[in-house]
Amino acid sequence: MRGPHNIWRLIRTGATLERAGAMNIALDAFDASPVLRFAARTLAFPFRWLGYKGDASLPPVSRALTALGPAYIKFGQIMSTRPDVVGPDLARELRVLQDALPPFPLDVAKKAVAKELDINVDEVFSEFSEPVAAASIAQVHRARIAETGKEVAVKVLRPNVERAFQKDVDAFYFAARFVEFFSPSSRRLRPMDVIEHFDGVVQGELDLRLESASASEFAANTEGDAGFQVPKIQWNLSSRRVMTLEWAEGLSLGDIDAIDAAGHDRRALGARVLQLFLSHALRDGFFHADMHHGNLKVASNGDIIAYDFGIMGYIDEYTRRVYAEILFGFIRRDYKRVAEVHFEAGYVPADQDVEEFARALRAVGEPIFGMDASRISMGRLLAYLFEVTERFGMETRTELILLQRTMVVVEGVARSLDEHINIWEVARPVVEEYIQKSIGPAALTRDLVRTARVLARFGPRLPQLAEAALIRQSKPEKDTDDSTLHPAIWAVIGAGAMAVFWVGTLI
């Protein structure tokens, strides 16, 4: 019954988009071809009456997605992180999409916790509240552990949410194939890849063990960060469908009046939010990718508390160095160096002209630096930068898109706390510190030591590898090109010798 279900769901989706006035907006965002527009309108318009009405106070696309249910809401939220796919305007609209849904009953939640953890809820918890928050995938209860008296937050997946999401994701795949068939030009946006990305994110959020692991890793990475807290996971009370962590008591960073009444320094909070995010992205390569007001609190002592770790970002060490050099180059307005970094990293094809690219980057940076300090935006800079690099043949890098989107959100939080914040002045010390530690003699030494450690594991095999390479080169097979094998082996040996030499000079 997959085929009929998918067709029916697709018709219902189109009808709802049409009824909410969102169909043309969605088609424009995906740069749909005339054939796809005709097919979509032909399927949707006659069935407009079948579409869900939705909340008329919401913008059209948000209204339609909210009406269509949890999977569509989550899809909209994830697409807000992909302006490369839906365009910056629609991404901006989807960014405010909320997934506050009616909670499921308390007794259902308790039964789910009891079954999943194999416990008697009333014995383990002396208190277990009604839901304090309900979203598309799970809801949260405030509870108290009977044995220790510790207050905790218990996150419980919605009943049958896995099955419901799977049905809609299956329809999304069907729609992606439909789009690719009727609009070959849309293949540049890789609709199937977009749905696979969504599917992967959702599957991760449907297993709360993965979110627990993210929270635990994030807490370990940031343990030494002054003025920052991450609630600790209670592993003995967590599983695939239940996650328990310490209760985060504090004021929402969006409640400006309460923050002022409590006497907190909003300027200091705004600067700290931005610097913490940059530190996590550059230093650790593992950052909270959903740092909006609703996921941040300020404790009574002024510490910032982060929670909800369903969406995390990861950047490998090499990409972090490239990103830091790009930011540092813009801070110093050294556009030639920024251009060279793009070429060195292979982001821009080698057949492009570095001088022309540097001039294009100057056109990106100078207008921003000419702005009043309160209007300077690193997120806007990155958005403009991606537009330019796309024109010069740079392929989309999902991890940088997520970083840029999070940067925009974090800047919004910082500006809500201090409308006159100078983003560059706040960011500069974090970026400079990372540059000093990751690009220079000390970093080179660390890299060589790591290389030596890796080579040490293969040391006993290097003679055999070299001998095998020489034998193969002396007896080449007709269908095998060994011209690169022998130099590669000697390159490894040479690297090992160089690493050993450098390590020896340090000892």
Tens of pLDDT, residues 28-69: 776 666 777 777 777 666 767 777 887 888 888 888 888 887
pLDDT band at 431 (very low <50, low <70, confident <90, very high): confident
How many Å apart are CA 36 and CA 189, to the nearest integer? 14
> Is a pLDDT exceeding 90 seen at residue 366?
no
DSSP letter assigned to residue 104: P
> Does the pLDDT at position 311 exceed 80?
yes
Query: Which residue matches tokens 């910032």?
Result: 304
103 near 134, Cβ under 8 Å?
yes
Q: Secondary structure of 465-494 in the HEC alphabet?
A: HHHHHHHHHHCCCCCCCCCCHHHHHHHHHH
DSSP, res 247: -
- For the segment 141-148, the average pLDDT, to the nearest whole number, is 95
Find the catalytic residue in 84, 290, 308, 418.
290
pLDDT at res. 105: 94
Give the per-residue pLDDT at 98.
62
pLDDT of residue 506: 46
The C-alpha angle with vertex 103 and arms to 120 and 250, in degrees rounded to 5, equals 85
Q: Which residues of 197-213 are buried (b: 16+ CB within 10 A; e: fewer)?
A: bbbebbebbbbbbbbbb
Percentage of the chain lying above the pLDDT 70 cut: 77
Residue 299: what pLDDT? 94
Lowest mean pLDDT among 371-380, 383-392, 393-402, 488-497: 488-497
Residue 55 burial (CB count, 10 A): 10
Name the token pair of 53: 């009405």
Q: Which residue from 158, 119, 24, 136 is spatially nearest to 75, judged by alpha carbons?
A: 136
- Regarding predicted confidence, which is higher, 53 or 375? 53
Domains of the chain, earliest start first = 2-98+165-182 (no CATH), 105-158+207-247 (3.30.200.20), 249-439 (no CATH), 442-506 (no CATH)
Any residues with CB less than 8 A from the CB of 447 and at least 6 apart, and which? Answer: none
If phi > 0 it is left, if psi is from -120 to 50 it is alpha, else beta; for residue 96 that is alpha
Note the pLDDT of residue 397: 67
Does 122 participate in catalysis according to the annotation? Answer: no
Compute the average pLDDT of residues 91-99. Answer: 69
pLDDT tier at 235, thresholds 50, 70, 90: very high
Could you tell me the pLDDT band of residue 237, with boundaries at 50, 70 and 90?
A: very high
- Global confidence as pTM: 0.74
pLDDT of residue 501: 46
Given a cut of 70, whether residue 375 has pLDDT beyond it is: no
Q: What is the pLDDT of the chain when averaged over all its residues?
A: 80
Beta bridge partners of 306: 296
3-state SS assignment for residue 152:
strand
For residue 378, which of 335, 428, 308 has the smallest C-alpha distance? Answer: 428
Run of H or E residues at 130: strand 125-134
Q: Any idea which of 209-218, 231-240, 340-349, 395-404 has the lowest mean pLDDT?
A: 395-404
Res 271: pLDDT: 93
Highest mean pLDDT of the ranges 6-10, 19-23, 129-133, 429-433: 129-133
Per-residue pLDDT, 436: 78
Cβ count near 112 (within 10 Å): 18
Inform me whether the pLDDT recorded for 9 exceeds 60.
yes
pLDDT (tens digit, 9 = 90+) per residue, 196-222? 877 877 887 889 999 999 999 999 999
- 3-class secondary-structure state, position 353: coil
pLDDT for 503: 47
Most confident segment among 180-184, 309-313, 450-454: 309-313
Kindly provide the residue ranges of all beta strands, DSSP E only, lying in 333-425, ordered along the sequence. none
Report whether 286 contacts 218 (CB < 8 A). Answer: yes
Residue 497: count of CB within 10 angstroms of its CB: 11
Assess whether pLDDT exceeds 60 at residue 280. yes
